Amino acid sequence: MTQQSASPGFASTSPQPDFRRFRRTRMTDALRSMVRETELSPRHFIYPLFVVHGTKVRREISSMPGVFQLSVDELVRECIDVHRMGIPAVILFGIPEHKDEVGSEAYDEHGIVQNAIRALKKEVPELVVITDVCMCEYTSHGHCGIVRGNEIVNDASIELLAREALTHAQAGADMVAPSDMFDGRIQAIRTILDANNFTNLPIMSYAAKYASGFYGPFREAAESTPKFGDRRSHQMDSANSDEALREVAEDIEEGADIVMVKPALSYLDVIRRVKDTFHMPTAAYNVSGEYSMIKAAGRNGWIDEPRVMMEVLLSIRRAGADIILTYFAKDAARLLRG
């Protein structure tokens, strides 16, 4: 080793270190943004909303601070805001006046969601109105379809789901999103839509939807907790991801235009596999429990809520989701627009 000369103005002649300096591109905001791989923008969001009968109803969900059950008049006001913030789409969940064994209001042309769609398409025509197609909010037993004995029946249920989707389309919905996880529902819905001249109406399929504990707060919001049993006979087992690929492949085959993985955070690996395998427009649902945990910890001062929110949303995008359904849509849009 020779002694280094320390003459000012001359570069050192010592050998380069044999490690890479990743920190060079992290030194300033400008540099960090130049090398940033993943982008988060309000255009990626779908905002879920809960609609109820009545007027001037704005009832906060106790387990979901900042999320409300809204009557149609309040929903319209909310959606004008949402649209103004650059969020392109909402997804509607309805809470009916009466529940019965066969979920009649789900496919009633004057049901709560059908009324909400008509009002929104009149008042905020550019907002993309997506509807959740399921029966669990509408049935007295809280299951996603028809129940016989202890069985949640598949084939009779998908006929009703197809009818429900058709009434949404007829009311003016821009997209339907079946969330039940019965077999064959995408084909049944595509068939009835096409037969009624809705060939251009896209279907976003809840394609890989897991039986999850993270839906707890949603069931308070949508009043859809099953009265007996659970959803494990149709929603997926958390342990499986090869099966998720088979579910997604089948839904694409049957006519799904956008495929969804749900929940998002415990299933980031599934989002990545789905995106890499099918190269389809891929959505992920950042579900109620994922929202409520961050809200609760934020309120306790245990985490920096806005920071964690952005980190979580970015992680879902990084995993491969093009679209994120999230209760954080407005909060995040506000932050993103400075």
> In the annotation, is 262 catalytic?
yes
> Which residue in 56, 99, 121, 209 is the catalytic one?
209
Nearer to ligand PBG, 42 or 178 (CB): 178
Strand pairing class (282-286; 323-326): parallel
Residue number, 37 or 206, with CB nearest to ligand PBG: 206
Phi, psi of 187 (to 5 degrees): -60, -45
Residue closest to ligand PBG, measured at CB: 218
Q: How do the residues of the chain divide into helix, strand and coil, expressed in percent and rounded to 5?
A: 40, 20, 40
**Footprint of ligand PBG (CB under 6 A):** 132, 134, 136, 179, 215, 218-219, 231, 287-288
Active site residue 56: no
103 vs 320, which CB is nearer to ligand PBG?
103
Q: How far is the CB of 150 from ligand PBG (least distance, A)?
A: 18
Shortest Cβ 279–ligand PBG spacing (Å):
25
> DSSP for 76-110?
HHHHHHHHHTT--EEEEEEE-SS-BTT-GGGG-TT
CA distance 326 to 330: 9
DSSP for 28-72, written as a single string = SHHHHHHT------GGGEEEEEEEESSSS-EEEETTEEEEEEEEH
b/e code 234-265 from CB counts within 10 Å (16+ = b): bbbeeeebeebbebbebbbebbbbbbbbbbbb
133: closest CA among 188, 211, 89?
188
The one-letter amino acid at 39: E
Selection from 334, 336, 321 nearest residue 284 by Cα: 321
Residue 57 tokens read as 């109803």
Nearer to ligand PBG, 90 or 197 (CB): 90
Nearer to ligand PBG among residue 92 and residue 287 (C-beta): 287
State the catalytic residue, choosing from 56, 99, 122, 262: 262
Q: Which is nearer to ligand PBG, 107 or 215 (CB)?
A: 215
Indicate which residues carry an active-site annotation. Answer: 209, 262
